[in-house]
A = this chain, B = another copy of it.
């Protein structure tokens, strides 16, 4: 059986060179070779995050990174505004709540992005209630709904309405694939995960911390040990991590950052824009209803309604048997939505191929889909999206 195309929003396919890095023999994580690697990776990440802040490497999934973002900078009872547009926004709020924060939630209808005025209003109300927000939890790209928040606008609204509030950002499924400005947008803590845009296996969260956030950490009393960012900073100064890191995933990240540097950000952003446009156009051409507000549709993951009369479990099984792995819905969207991941190592050609497989399955399941319409629409949309050449050389999985 040939290898399946993995089109879920993480883990993403690994380029050949990254796979080879995963096969390297172990080294001493407290020796000179690993110290050099950490230095290179840290430099590469700072460049990708567009920040002068430290970017620390934690061995955990993205959710562990969200926990680190909350517990290092907050104390029990601290008023916090949590802006949630989906499952992962809810999760971030739950983390803060579990550790005793006084969380006010701004719940946005799923499929929509948050709006700056709503954030401003919520912050004003908290201040009027005598509970000014110590921090705002924001999601950059909501993986469960396929919506990218207008993060620059939301951050500006927070800075205007609550200048002292820390901005803690879940950047897990967008950073590294679409434009992102940690320093220019004034983001205090930004979290991402290795298995997303980075083309690396899961196992590492990468977290940037601003001077303002470090100052808050000095007073923050939520308990932390494994996720203590200060311990990570102290070790990073010696070229180490406080606890044994996922060495193999670090090897992979080192190689992947080299591929990213070689491709360059303009090409990476254009490729993701082209793949996002291709996916949306391909699905629409097959009569599938997209879930996300078109104005804020994500270029890393597309969510769509499971067509009426089709069971997701049956559709998923049939797709898998033809070599295409898509993701289902999460939380209350289970069985209602399916999702196509198009981040990391992905090319327009692969999206077109995925649309062709999907089209075949839909036709066999009795949907009135015109032969060839989906792939053709995908390719045309990619060309329109401004990618100079959709066949541009990109890292492709083996």
Report A's interface with B, CB cutoff 8 A: 3-4, 6, 8, 10-14, 19-20, 22-32, 59-64, 67, 94-95, 98-100, 193, 195, 201-203, 222-227, 242-249, 252, 320, 325, 327-328, 397-398
Contacts and interface: CB of A to CB of B under 8 A. Distances in A.
Given A59-B203, A243-B62, A22 B248 contact: yes
A178 to B, nearest CB: 20
B243 A63 contact: yes
Contacts of A32: 320
A32 B243 CA distance: 32
A12 B28 contact: no
The 8 closest A-B pairs by CB, nearest first: A203-B246, A201-B248, A23-B23, A11-B26, A22-B22, A61-B243, A63-B243, A61-B244
B249 A193 contact: no
A222 B98 CA distance: 10
A249 B64 contact: no
Tell me what chain A mostly uses at the interface: helix, strand, loop, or mixed. loop
Contact of A64 (B11, B14, B60, B62): B60
Given A11-B244, A61-B243, A202-B246, A28 B325 contact: yes
Most buried by B among A12, A23, A67, A227: A23
A37 to B, nearest CB: 14
B327 A202 contact: no
A94 B225 contact: yes
Nearest to A199: B26
Contacts of A248: 22, 201-203, 248-249, 252
15 contacts: A6-B25, A11-B28, A19-B25, A26-B201, A31-B325, A32-B320, A59-B59, A60-B64, A61-B226, A61-B243, A63-B243, A63-B244, A95-B226, A201-B246, A201-B249
A11 B60 contact: no
A74 to B, nearest CB: 12
Nearest to A246: B203
Given A13-B26, A19-B24, 17 more contacts: A11-B27, A11-B28, A11-B247, A12-B26, A19-B23, A25-B398, A28-B327, A59-B60, A59-B61, A59-B203, A60-B226, A60-B243, A62-B243, A64-B226, A94-B225, A201-B249, A203-B246
Contacts of A98: 223-225
